[in-house]
Chain A
Amino acid sequence: MTAATLTQAQIEERRRTRRTRRALLAPALIIIVAISVLPLGITFVYSFLKPGTYGGVIWEFSTDAYVQFLFERDIFDGTLQFNDSYLTIFMRSIGLAFGATVGALILGFPTAYFIATKPREQRNLWLFLITLPFWTNLLIRTYAMLLILRDEGMINLTLMGVGVIEKPLSILYTDTAVFIGLIYTYLPFMVLPLYASLEKLDFRLVEAGYDLYANRWRVLRHIITPVAKPGIIAGCILVFIPGLGAYITPALLGGGKKLMIGNMIAIQFGSSRNWPFGSAAALILMALVVIALLIYARAAGKGARAHG
């Protein structure tokens, strides 16, 4: 009898915890639906509709948006011709984002290592300095970069003053400017996860490496890098993905001439008034990112299993 009542009480108890859990999860679920699933659904639906003349959409099913990504319809006979201009923008975006990721890694790794090897009480100060740029709006920071990079900017004036160059280098409104801007913007996203994994690194492993005849580079390659791998991957993802969709940096530093995906999509919703195509481009971008992440997860999973 006692057992039966106990079970009854337990069932009641369990039901109550389940209810509480659902209640506690509700706000998070609502937010996820509201800011992620819903907009994505709208984007998905819009990408299969026809553009309205003054923006917006006409509720008629069409795959034109996706076709338009690779082909151009001849205005006269309506035949499809291959058109690589959007593909080029995609490729350039991927190239720039990739370059910025590598650049941020090269700059971020020594920075994170430097902070991780500082005495514990100094590290917070350094981390604070790394995150300091976030205190200012990205738009303003990018304008500041513009002032630094332009022909009469700090870089050119310094180089000319020292006598390294005679004419100013035209950096602004080139891929180089976008590249520099991307690195500058996303560097903290590289440094922070790298720091998190390097901070956990047992420096006795580094000593063990030196002890076993590895020089600095080999210690870096065979011991520090593998141990910091989760941080490297997280940092690369955190730089590459937002870098790929960057909008402000290419808009300002590329001067509107050097478009990236983000700008192209923005134009579709703005002056081009082609919402379905903008939606389709956004979804293609997302699909690419997801596919890249899946390929990576596959490879990483295999690597881990091979080791285990």
Chain B
Amino acid sequence: MSSRPAHADHQAQDRRNTISARSLVKTFGHGETRVTALDNIDVDIRENEFFTLLGPSGCGKTTLLRLIAGFELPTGGTIELEGKDITALPPHLRPVNTVFQNYALFPHMTVAENVGFGLKMLGKPSGDIDARVKKMLSLVQLEAMANRRTDQLSGGQQQRVALARALAPAPKVLLLDEPLAALDLKLRKNMQLELKSLQHETGITFVFVTHDQEEALTMSDRIAVMRDGAILQIGSPKDIYDRPTHRFVADFIGDINIFEGTVESTEGNQAKVRLRDGETVLARMPEAGTSAGSCALAVRPESLRIAGPGEAAALEGTLENVVYMGAAHNLHLRLGSGEELVVRHGGSTEGIDLSPGAQLGVVIAPGGARVLA
């Protein structure tokens, strides 16, 4: 509930786990049609955090959510909720609620009846239900719609009803499966902010699924990046963005330049990497630390800028394309090795030759280049 300071990362370490999944495996089908949707997942989701599952289509995000909700039983492994094993508990006995992607509002009930449904099933007295429904509807700013039928609402309003309905019983965990996917961009941005503040106000743990990396970065306390049924990296948005441990993660989150190279020498966590076009670059080693040999070098476009006159350039390339981005320019360069390099050049482009085919030197910001595991 309290405002979260910038060093939330360290605080978060001490928080209790709401969900702990261990060696979670889920397969569908038999024989030749067998699909492994989740492959040995271990994850801890902490109390009161905004946790995001991010990954491409088919990587198993929905499956993990459905296992937590109880709609599917795992093929192997366990799930704990606040230290209690809930692996085999049916969904209606779990204090976990879901906001479905298509909202799944009950068509034969009014907005208020939808929101009150969970409390009614929990056997709460009707006076309490009415009060709570009112409170929830005001939380999502839909008081005026209480007696409407759900098919008389706009997409954004239906979305908020789904949210209010899932929050009304005050679950321990709220699961959201791409709840914003059906909304247009503007509404989506608004709802992102609303969701984030709702999570603050209610203090409920949110597990949020998206395949939109920008959405994940702006909303989450922590992100789990998934691929092919496995979690590749879990960390704060800054961790994931600045210190990707896998090439896939680096590539999936934001724009990034990735080059082939060879580690020539290491010193502490710094490595000297020789690129294919012969130049050497200083780069940070991953924590795990790969030994010398061929490696992938990653540099974010915003860690690069065009070298000023007389400045020593780390890389050189031929300008192929300039894309105006509003606040910055994306300069697409071709390196001597044939690899493409994107430089996000903020500020003025005065004094820089931006004609196609111009030879430009590029400077890497300190710590901007990293070797991927």
Seen from chain A, the residues whose Cβ lies within 8 Å of a Cβ on chain B are 202, 204-205, 207-215, 218, 222-223, 226-227, 229, 307-308
Contacts and interface: CB of A to CB of B under 8 A. Distances in A.
Interface string B90-116: 111100111010101111101000000
B74 to A, nearest CB: 17
Contacts of A214: 92, 117, 121
B172 interface: no
B44 to A, nearest CB: 23
Contacts, number: 62
B28 to A, nearest CB: 14
Given A208-B100, A307-B149, A308-B149, A213 B106 contact: no
A117 to B, nearest CB: 15
B121 A223 contact: no
B104 A204 contact: yes
Interface string B138-178: 00000000000100000000000000011001000000000
Nearest to A211: B98
A192 to B, nearest CB: 22
B169 A210 contact: no
B91 A207 contact: yes
Nearest to A212: B118
Contact of A202 (B71, B104, B117): B104
B106 A223 contact: yes
Contacts of B107: 205, 227
B45 interface: no
A205 B105 CA distance: 7
Contacts of B92: 210-215
A204 B169 CA distance: 19
Nearest to B102: A204
Contacts of A205: 104, 106-107
B122 interface: yes
Interface string B17-54: 00000000000000000000000000000000000000
Given A202-B104, A227-B107, A208 B98 contact: yes
Contacts of B91: 207, 210-211
A210 B122 contact: no
Contacts of B118: 212-213
B69 interface: yes
A210 B66 CA distance: 12
B97 A211 contact: yes
Which of A212, A213, A215, A218 has the most chain B CB within a 10 Å cutoff?
Answer: A212
A231 to B, nearest CB: 14
A214 B106 CA distance: 13
Contact of A211 (B69, B102, B108, B122): B69
Contacts of A223: 106
A212 B108 contact: no
Contacts of B104: 202, 204-205, 207-208
B151 to A, nearest CB: 11
A91 to B, nearest CB: 35
Contacts of A207: 71, 91, 98, 100, 104
Contacts of A208: 98, 100, 104-106
A212 B121 contact: yes
B95 to A, nearest CB: 9
B187 to A, nearest CB: 22
B169 A213 contact: yes
Nearest to B91: A210
A215 B105 CA distance: 18
B165 A210 contact: no
Contacts of B166: 211-212
A204 B62 CA distance: 13
Contacts of B70: 210
Contacts of A308: 149
Nearest to A203: B104
A212 B97 contact: yes
A212 B117 contact: yes
A218 B69 CA distance: 18
For the complex of A and B, 9 pairs with smallest distance between CB atoms: A212-B118, A213-B121, A208-B104, A210-B91, A226-B108, A204-B104, A214-B121, A213-B92, A211-B98
A223 B97 CA distance: 17
Given A211-B91, A214-B121, A223-B106, A204 B100 contact: yes
Contacts of B169: 212-213
Interface string B68-85: 011100000000000000
B188 to A, nearest CB: 21
A197 to B, nearest CB: 12
Nearest to B96: A211
A207 B66 CA distance: 10
B135 to A, nearest CB: 17
